[in-house]
Amino acid sequence: MPDVPARDEFPPGRVVSLTPRVRRITASNPGAMTGPGTNTYLVGAGADVVVIDPGPDEAAHLDAVAGAGGGRVRTILTTHTHPDHAPGAPGLRERTGAPLVGFEARDGFVPDATLVDGDRVEGDGFTIIAVHTPGHAGNHLCYLLAEEVLLFSGDHVMSGSTVVISPPDGDMSAYLASLERCLAMGLRAIAPGHGRLIDDPDAALRAYLDHRRDRERQILDAVTPGPVTIDEVVAALYPDLIDELIPRAGQSVWAHLIKLAGEGRAFGTGRTGAWQATRE
């Protein structure tokens, strides 16, 4: 995994130009799950601007995004409806008049229009293509900026940390398939929902896939001797984890076990029950 970016590299409200068409403003919500904060992206250097992920409902951040949009924001896209990505959407609509667009209404997010895989959003000098990437969330969309073969990855891929896969909405099999799909796209860059621009996307995607395969092997080994609980697996596999992240690790282990169960390689009973490997 790449280095964890320092928070002072992402001062809230600062507009950072990343590519000819892409600017980034980071919200002031740093944390164990959000890294230096949620990245809001502005796409477009001409007459139109599209915003990707308004972030949390934080007035100073939304003011900065609307200000950088300069009256040219035409569409507000969301990658998914988690609380660090979508709640700022209505406030940004109020400030810009632009419609809210996402995969579906959920978690308090109510879009004015919805997108499915392959849908396009055109603007002056750019085309954005929606890529449905379930796994982290069932309603997760990445957005491909066609002209730069750059993927806005939301929480599908982050810079500096792995992604939480939390059942039942989080789905490890779907997540790995979505990573493979991104790997097949021949990307030139990934602009993640948290952390730095990733300029070696295939290496990052392969590192994610390798990490999950290693984890899966470790979890299968952990449940092979006989029935064990997910909490016991977490204690064995993540001995140094900070308390705040332990519940998330439990969810990730559960997600792996559900995948293994679907493949007939393990069986067990939910988040709190005992699990074991299927005998060969």
**Per rule CB under 5 A, is residue 155 in the interface with Zn ion?**
yes
Q: Which is nearer to Zn ion, 155 or 171 (CB)?
A: 155
Q: Near Zn ion by CB under 5 A, which window of 92-100, 121-129, 153-161, 166-174?
A: 153-161
Of 82 and 196, which has the nearer Cβ to Zn ion? 82
The smaller minimum CB distance to Zn ion, of residues 123 and 193, is found at 193
Terminal-residue alpha carbon distance, the chain: 33
Window contacting Zn ion (CB under 5 A); options: 24-32, 49-57, 81-89, 173-181: 81-89
| In the complex, least distance from residue 137 CB atom to Zn ion, rounded to whole angstroms | 6
String marking each residue 92-131 x if it binds Zn ion according to CB under 5 A: ----------------------------------------
Q: Does the active-site annotation cover 231?
A: no
Regarding 53 and contact with Zn ion (CB under 5 A), the answer is: no
Closest distance of CB 269 from Zn ion, Å: 27
Query: Strand locations in the chain, DSSP E?
Result: 16-19, 22-26, 39-43, 49-52, 73-77, 100-102, 113-114, 120-123, 126-132, 141-145, 150-154, 189-192, 228-229, 266-268, 274-277
34 or 96: CB nearest Zn ion:
34
Q: Identify the residue whose tokens are 């069932």.
A: 138
Full DSSP string of 53-102? ---SS-HHHHHHHHHHHTT-EEEEE-S---TTTSTTHHHHHHHH-PPEEE
Q: How far is the CB of 193 from Zn ion (least distance, A)?
A: 7
Q: Which of 86, 81, 64 is nearest to 10 (CA)?
A: 64
Residue 164: DSSP 8-state: P
| Count of C-beta atoms within a 10 Å radius of residue 95 | 18
CB of 48 or CB of 155, closer to Zn ion = 155
CA 167 to chain centre: 15
Taking CB under 5 A as the binding criterion, the range among 4-12, 60-68, 76-84, 233-241 that sits at the site for Zn ion is 76-84
Distance in Å, CB of 192 to Zn ion, minimum: 11
> Can you tell me the distance from the alpha carbon of 102 to that of 116, in angstroms, rounded to the nearest whole number?
9
Residue 79: closest CA among 178, 156, 184, 164: 156
Shortest Å, Cβ 140 to Zn ion:
8
* Region near Zn ion per CB under 5 A, out of 29-37, 60-68, 82-90, 100-108: 82-90
Q: Which is nearer to Zn ion, 23 or 82 (CB)?
A: 82
Smallest separation (angstroms) from Zn ion to the CB of 155: 4
- 82 sits near Zn ion (criterion: CB under 5 A): yes
Question: Residue 3: how many CA atoms within 13 Å on its side-chain side?
Answer: 4
- What Rg do the C-alpha atoms of the chain give, in angstroms? 19
Q: Which of 84, 155, 169, 171 is catalytic?
A: 84
Q: Can you give the binding site for Zn ion, defined by CB under 5 A?
A: 82, 155
Active site residue ranges: 84
